[in-house]
Amino acid sequence: MKEIKSKSTRLSLLAKEAPEIPGILEEFELSLALLTGQLSPLLSSIQQIRLQNKPLATFIELKHNLLLSYCTFLSFYLLIRLSKDGDTAKSHPVLFKITTLKQTLDGL
């Protein structure tokens, strides 16, 4: 198989073969930015928060863990979707997990 070197050609092929990938990548990047930019620094100072406000500390830990799981499942989906058996990803149970976690995160 010939390697495609042009970035625009690769992107157009990706849009044709797997149109959901750019949206999932954007969601992954946004979630990862929230995780590393806001929640991780809060989690590192959780001991001080825990002493003053236990419900807030518990909420931060919960959101951090849910977002970490969400990013893990998204990356797993991308991995199986972009593999040679990418068509099996469309019916993989990980999609249910991703949807459930997204609804839970949106509800928080």
User: Model confidence over 66-88: pLDDT tens digits?
Assistant: 999 999 999 999 888 888 776 77
pLDDT bracket for residue 65 (50, 70, 90): very high
Instruction: Outline where the chain has alpha helix (H).
Output: 7-17, 21-34, 40-44, 46-52, 54-81, 94-107
In a domain, 101, yes or no: yes
In a domain, 13, yes or no: no
Count of other CB atoms within 10 angstroms of residue 4? 13
In a domain, 70, yes or no: yes
In a domain, 55, yes or no: yes
Task: Report whether pLDDT(25) > 80.
Answer: yes
Determine the number of helices (DSSP H) and then strands (DSSP E) in the chain.
6, 0
Triad 44, 58, 36: Cα angle to 5°: 40
pLDDT at 70: 95
Instruction: Residue 101: give the domain boundaries.
Output: 21-107
The structural domain count of the chain equals: 1
Residue 37's alpha-carbon distances to 22, 34, 66, 82, in angstroms, are 22, 5, 15, 28
In a domain, 11, yes or no: no
> How deeply is 88 buried, as exposed, middle or buried, from its count of CB atoms within 10 A (0-12, 13-18, 19+)?
exposed
In a domain, 49, yes or no: yes
In a domain, 5, yes or no: no
pTM of the model: 0.76
In a domain, 10, yes or no: no
Q: State how far the Cα of 89 lies from the Cα of 78, in Å rounded to an integer.
A: 9
